[in-house]
Each structure stands twice: as structure tokens, then as C-alpha cells.
Amino acid sequence: MAKSYDLEERTFNFAIQISDYVGKLNKTLTNIEYGKQLARSSGSVAANYIEANESLGKNDFYMRLKICRKEMKESIMWLKLTIPTGNEDKTQKHLIVEGTEIMKIFGSIITKIYKNYSKE
């Protein structure tokens, strides 16, 4: 599947993929609890990015992006804590790579914005 460069779509698809992944995990106590947290944080990334695009100003946009990056870091942590079986191991690795790429994109945008703010 080709990578999407529309970050709103990409974060949404990440949340959908996480939902599918969580639904396929063995129903152990830890997977259930970690899966709930993972679903929340990955959905929060997508929701906050939508909010960032509808921001009330530069500062609001900047803060929403920081929240997106923070929530993605959290998603990656919960993802690493889940215990996959069989083919889900490959899915877990793929999602960690995708989450890390998206997190780095947010970091890059945040750095550029910060540099521009410091010039003002």
C-alpha cells in the first residue's frame, strides 16, 4: 500500500489499523487494558490533527501538534506493550514503524514552527 501524504488521512488510517489490530489480539487481561489505551491514544492523534487544521490561531495549531506528537508517543508505547500472536507480530511491527514516522513528521513540523516563532 502506497504511503499517503495527507496527514489527516494518514492519522485516520493509523487509528483504523490500530482498531483492527486490537480486535485481533488474544483477550488476555493485559492485552484488553493495553488495547483500550492504544485505541484511545491513536484515535486522539487523528482527532487532534483535525482540530489542529481547524485551529483558532498559530498558538492553538502549535499546541495541537504537540498533543498529536505526545499521543503518538503514547500509542507506540501501548503498542509495544501488547502481546501479539502469529501474523499479528508483523502487524505490530508495521504499526510501530508507521507510528514512528508520523511522530517524526509532527516533530519536524513543530520544530519548523518553533523556529519561525523565534524569528518574530
**Nearest alpha-carbon partner for 65 in 78, 77, 55, 75:** 55
Domains defined for the chain, CATH in brackets: 10-15+29-119 (1.20.1440.60)
Provide CB contacts within 8 A for 53, sequence distance 6+. 8
Q: Which residue carries 492504544 as its cell?
A: 38
Q: Are 52 and 78 in contact (CB under 8 A)?
A: no
- Per residue in 71-107, pLDDT tens? 999 999 999 999 998 889 999 999 999 999 999 999 9
- Per residue in 2-41, pLDDT tens? 554 699 999 999 999 999 999 999 999 999 999 999 999 9
Instruction: Compute CA distances 16 → 8, 11, 20, 29, 107, whole Å.
Output: 13, 9, 6, 22, 22
State the pTM of this model.
0.90
